[in-house]
Amino acid sequence: MRTVPALLALAWLAAPPTAFGQEDQETLRRDLDTRAAAMEARVLALRRDIHRHPELSNREIRTAQLVAQELEQLGLEVRSGVAHTGVVGVLRGGLPGPVVALRADMDALPVTEETGLPFASMQRAEWLGRDVGVMHACGHDAHTAMLLGAAHVLAAVRDQLPGTVVFVFQPAEERPPPGEDGGAQLLLREGGLDAPRPDAIFALHVVPEYPVGTLAWRAGGAMASSDRMRIVVHGRQTHAAKPWEGIDPIAAASRIVLGLQAIPGRQTDARKPAVVSIGAIHGGVRNNIIPDQVELLGTIRSLDPEQRLELHERVRRTATALAESSGARAEVEIDVARGYPVTWNDPELARRMLPTLERVAPVVVEAPPRTGAEDFAFYAQQIPGLYLWLGVRSPDLDAADAAPNHSPRFLVDEDALPLGVRTLSHLALDYLTTAP
C-alpha cells in the first residue's frame, strides 16, 4: 500500500511541465540579475586568465581543466574528455521540466596577438608543422567565461528550476587539425548530449559589428554552410612558345574560376545568398613551361540547405565542362564530411525567445545573414537551436575602425560580458518556465 506522500511524489513526477507562475518567474528573474551582477568580477578574471593562456583546437587541456573545476565546485554532474577535450556539465533543477542546453566554444587560433593588452597572449604552439603564435582572436575566451558565469548564476537557484540545464563547453569549433576529428560533430557522435537529451540549445558569439549593449538575432538561415573544394585541372605539358602542342591547364583553370564565380545569381536563385570563392591556385614552375596540371582550392557557401546541394552539383558540372571544352580534364573534390551545414535558427524557438532578448538587452536588432560558418549548425540539425550575436565594440569606436574576428588586433570591450551572462541565464530560465 502506497502512502499519501508516495502518491503525491508519483503524481509530481508524472505531471507534465507547465508554465511557471508569473510572480514566481519575475522573482526568479530578479534573482538572476542580482546574482549575475555579483559575478562580474569573477567572469572578468576568468576571461582574462583564459585569454592569457589560449589553446588550439583539440588541445584545450588547461581550459578544460579550469572549466571542469568550476563546474564541479558548483556541484554539477561533470563529464570531461568529451570529443577529446570537451566538458559537459548537467544542472538538475529541483522541479520537473524540460531540458535546455547552453553552449560555448573554447579553442583559439594560430594568430600572433597585437592588441597590447596587459593580459595578452604570449603562447606559441605548432600548427601544420610551423611554430605560430596563439590568440583568442575570435572571442571564445569570452564565450567560455560568460557560460561559466551563467552556470554560477543558475546553480544558485537550482532548487527553484523546473527542469535541467546542460552546459556544453566544446573544443575545436575552428576545425580540428587535418587528420583529426573534433568539434560539435564528434561531441554529438560520442553522445555528449544524450544523457539528458536537450529539447533546445542556445549559444551566442561576440562580434565587433555591434556596440556593447546590443543583441542580434535572426530566424531561419543565420550563418552559411561551408564546404571546401579542390579542383585539379589536368592538361599536357609543353613549351610556352608552342602552346598548341600541349593542353594548357592554366588557361582552362582561369576559365573555371570565372565560371564558378558566375554560378551564384546566374545559375542559382539570386534571392538566396551564396558564395563560391577560389582562395589558392597552384601550378607551374617556370615562365616558359606550360605545366601538366593546376590545383584550385576554395569554398562553397550557402544559406539554404537545399541550395547547398545544388551548388555542389553546379560546381562539378561547370568545372568539368569548361575543362573539357579546351581538351583538359578536371577532377572536383568537395569535402562534405569536413564541411559545416547551414546554421539554422528554429523560427518558432526564435519567436518564443524574442521577448527574453528584448527584456535583457538595451538594443535588440534583427541581423542580416552571415556568410561565415559555425559548427553550432550540427546541434541545430538535431535539436531546435537559436544562435545569437553579442556586440562587443566600444561605443566610442566606429564600426569601420574595429578589428574583425580573427584579426591579431581583435578586442572585446569587457563591459559586454555581464549582458552575455544575463542573456544565457535568462534564455535558460525562460525556456524552462514559459510554456511554448
Q: What type of residue is 382?
A: Q
Find the radius of gyration of the CA atoms of the chain: 25
Other C-beta atoms closer than 10 Å to the C-beta of 13 total 8
CA atoms within 13 A on the CB side of 96: 10
pLDDT band with cut points at 50, 70 and 90 for residue 2: very low
Q: What's the confidence (pLDDT) of residue 21?
A: 79
Q: How far apart are CA 322 and CA 333, in angstroms?
A: 16
Q: At 23, is the secondary structure helix, strand, or coil?
A: helix
Q: Is the pLDDT of residue 127 over 80?
A: yes
Q: How far apart are CA 349 and CA 386, in angstroms?
A: 7
The mean pLDDT of the chain is 94
Q: Is the pLDDT of residue 3 over 50?
A: no
Q: Which cell goes with 341?
A: 551545414
Other C-beta atoms closer than 10 Å to the C-beta of 191 total 12
Q: Are 233 and 249 in contact (CB under 8 A)?
A: yes
Please write the tens of the pLDDT for every residue from 64-105: 999 999 999 999 999 999 999 999 999 999 999 999 999 999
Q: Are 373 and 336 in contact (CB under 8 A)?
A: no
Chain-centre distance of CA 328, in angstroms? 39
Other C-beta atoms closer than 10 Å to the C-beta of 434 total 14
Please write the tens of the pLDDT for every residue from 265-284: 899 988 889 999 999 999 99
Q: How far apart are CA 280 and CA 228, in angstroms?
A: 12
Chain-centre distance of CA 172, in angstroms? 10
CA atoms within 13 A on the CB side of 130: 8
Please write the tens of the pLDDT for every residue from 312-352: 999 999 999 999 999 999 999 999 988 999 999 999 999 99
Q: Looking up cell 528554429, which residue turns up?
A: 346
Q: Looking up cell 518564443, which residue turns up?
A: 352
Q: At 404, is the secondary structure helix, strand, or coil?
A: coil
Beta strand segments in 60-161, E? 77-82, 86-92, 95-105, 124-127, 130-133
Domains, the chain, ordered by start: 17-223+342-433 (3.40.630.10), 225-339 (3.30.70.360)
Q: What's the confidence (pLDDT) of residue 265?
A: 87
Q: pTM value?
A: 0.90
Q: What's the confidence (pLDDT) of residue 19?
A: 53
Give the CA distances from residue 138 to residues 2, 114, 122, 384, in Å, rounded to whole numbers and listed in that order: 57, 14, 16, 25
Per DSSP bridges, beta strands 162-170 and 220-223 are unpaired
Q: Are 409 and 225 in contact (CB under 8 A)?
A: no
Q: What's the confidence (pLDDT) of residue 271?
A: 87
Question: Which residues have a catalytic role annotated?
Answer: 340, 414
Mean pLDDT, rounded, for 30-42: 97
The counts of H helices and E strands in the chain are 11, 18
